[in-house]
A and B are shown apart, each in its own frame.
Chain A
Amino acid sequence: MTGSAVRISKIAKGYGASRVLRDIDLAVDAGEFMTIVGPSGCGKSTLLKILAGLDQPDGGSIEIGGESVNQLRPSQRNIAMVFQSYALYPHMRVRDNLAMPLIMADLPFVARMPVIGPLVPGMSAKRRQISSTVRDVSKSLGIEALLERKPSELSGGQRQRVALGRAMVRQPGVFLMDEPLSNLDAALRTQVRTELVQLQKRLNATFLYVTHDQVEAMTMSDRIAVMMDGRIVQVATPAEIYAAPADIRVARFIGSPPINILPANIGEAGIVGLLGESQNLRTALRAGEKAQVGIRPADVTVAAHTRARGASSSHEGRLLHTENLGNEIILHLTLAGDRQVPFTARLPQREWATIQASGGNPNLVQVGLPAERFLVFNAAGRLIPSKGVQVSKRLEAVS
């Protein structure tokens, strides 16, 4: 089976006065793992429900597999959905939960009715077919031992698998997933993340995956669509989103710990001024414009207080506290020149041990900010292309 392509154009939705979705355009390729990520309330779940046909858009069109599905009922759209709550039928055994989509699709109305249903003749071949499909799917998910249980007798991870199985039995063109991992504990979440990606590759299915967790988005997706305030702000691969976030909100949302944002000034010839010093960086912005500079904590270099190395500018950093991640360490600092802005740096544990061993004031470090890694955003929060240059003289204060 292969997945279907999805094309969403100009989808809008509002409840009363509030606009939840504004002119959403999104194209998902067949067999792609597309993640829609955004903070809660950004409209991503509403978009998924509209795709599924559970909610009606105010305007716009949806194509699945090249066919317009606007007028189709959810069950006719060749989709399956995994809910955040899993939405398993609590009164049915796992077997019946898995069989439900097939029963509805393959058996006629009379055969589905209670009491008289089993008496309808000529259905045994179809019923056999259904139960063999259920067996195959449950085997591929490793839940065949659970078939006779009720959902209440399953653990969170097992329920998640059953929900996945119920989505798989019909071999849909598109899987819609609404935060399917958010009810799992941290360890299980990491494991299921890997399994989901492998499953998607094996099925060669199209996945549309909604989450508020940027780690899930970064680790699982072929491409990410970042949604903010009812709009899609950027659609790109995880690497692009991380390296060149189109919008400062995207930059803030993606990456852990979050990106450092420092206020900046633009000097003559578009040279960026930061923390009272001009940097080896030129932008297309005009002199005097307001700007903000983003620096990923991992791009920051840290040295013992006595000397700075390899950075275009070096600043004294005062240590507030440290977070030890085992192989890495996160420093929470304030920088000389602007003590108000919190600043984080991330470096390998071994490097940090060397710095600590070098003696000196344990609460001070030398922080290097490599200008070539700066992300410059204009006053509207858009990413502005910038180019490394050599600035000979240091400006005293670019205020």
Chain B
Amino acid sequence: MTSLPTCGTCRPARAVPDKLRGVNAAYLFALPAVALIAIVVLAPIAVVILLSFSNYSLGATDWSLVGIGNYAQLVHDRSFLNALSNTALYVSVVVSMSVLLGLLLAILVHGTGRLRRLYEVIFFLPVASTLVALGLVWKFMLHSRIGPINELIAALGLQRIDFFNNPSIAIFALAAIGVWHLVGFNMILFLAGLTGIPRDLYQAAAIDGADGFWDRLFRVTWPMLGPTTIFVTITSTITAFQVFDTVAVITHGGPAGSTDVILYQLYQASFQYFETGYASALTVVFLIIMMAISAVQIFAARGVHYS
């Protein structure tokens, strides 16, 4: 081997200035991102946690720490417990319906040929539109006297249903809107999952005798969609927990507090009564619930990933 030509005057450029030697350069590169996360995400959370232990009221000049006072108040606050149970009811209806309907729609749409794109767009439209505006549309659609749905019910000779003024129905009417809004998104996710199932598996199933609709669904499709189902369920749960728009636009928490939900409580405490400390405690509770759901996703996902 011949020796490489050497150059006496040129030296390789130093990668790190002398005074920074000894510091791992990787940390320096990570610094901007870390700083950004600290300022934008972590700091506000820390402030909220701090405020939740205070009696701060928006705009107040003097305030003091009150320990766990706000949390103690929460536990005994009937309207909070009411909001919590309403939210839970809303979430359970919306999640179960939107996941099942999303799966069903995805399977049906997956089986169609050319019209598939059209169906995808149609079912995805509600997801892409503003829920506040569409909440108003639904308020009209479901109105007890002038709403077309009640006109239809009346035309069929049935009794009109006062969807938003009947305390035992209102939360379900809102849940129906929630399902309508969410189902297209879930359908798209399930469609992606369906596309990922190898065709070989269905062929093997056909040879093994599992070629009927239900056998295919229960033996191949549904288990293979396990990871997707977990993901869809978790995202649906988080979205459903954040229900606010329809409540704020249509029912304002009524009738008789039957549609009062956590975020609406939070909104009222924070921006109508300016009880920032109390609202912060609510926020922390909300945050803990969200983190618990995410943790469930992480653990549940371990059981359903196959490769």
Contacts and interface: CB of A to CB of B under 8 A. Distances in A.
A104 B209 contact: yes
B198 A85 contact: yes
Interface in B201-240: 201, 203-212, 214-215, 218-220, 223-224, 226
B220 A75 contact: no
A92 B224 CA distance: 10
Contacts of B209: 75, 101, 104-105
A150 interface: yes
A364 to B, nearest CB: 33
17 contacts: A73-B211, A74-B203, A75-B209, A81-B204, A81-B207, A83-B200, A85-B198, A87-B198, A87-B200, A88-B204, A89-B204, A91-B306, A101-B207, A104-B208, A112-B215, A112-B218, A152-B307
Given A90-B306, A90-B307, A113-B214, A83 B219 contact: no
B206 A74 contact: yes
Contacts of B306: 90-91, 150-152
Main SS class of interface, B: helix
A74 B205 CA distance: 10
B218 A75 contact: no
A54 B224 contact: no
A166 interface: yes
A80 B214 CA distance: 22
Interface residues of A, number: 30
Contacts of B304: 91
A166 B204 CA distance: 10
Given A52-B207, A85-B200, A100-B210, 16 more contacts: A52-B203, A53-B207, A54-B206, A74-B203, A75-B211, A83-B204, A87-B198, A89-B205, A90-B307, A91-B224, A91-B226, A101-B208, A104-B209, A109-B214, A112-B215, A166-B204
Contacts of A49: 203
A73 B224 contact: no
Closest 6 CB pairs of A and B: A104-B209, A75-B209, A90-B306, A87-B200, A87-B204, A91-B223
A285 B210 CA distance: 58
Interface string A360-382: 00000000000000000000000
A73 B206 contact: yes
Nearest to A73: B211
A89 B226 CA distance: 13
Which of A83, A88, A91, A101 has most B Cβ within 10 Å? A91
A80 B220 contact: no
Which of B198, B200, B220 has most A Cβ within 10 Å? B200
A160 to B, nearest CB: 14
B207 A75 contact: yes
Interface string A96-124: 00001100110001001110000000000
Interface in A21-51: 49
Given A85-B200, A113-B218, A152-B306, A80 B207 contact: yes
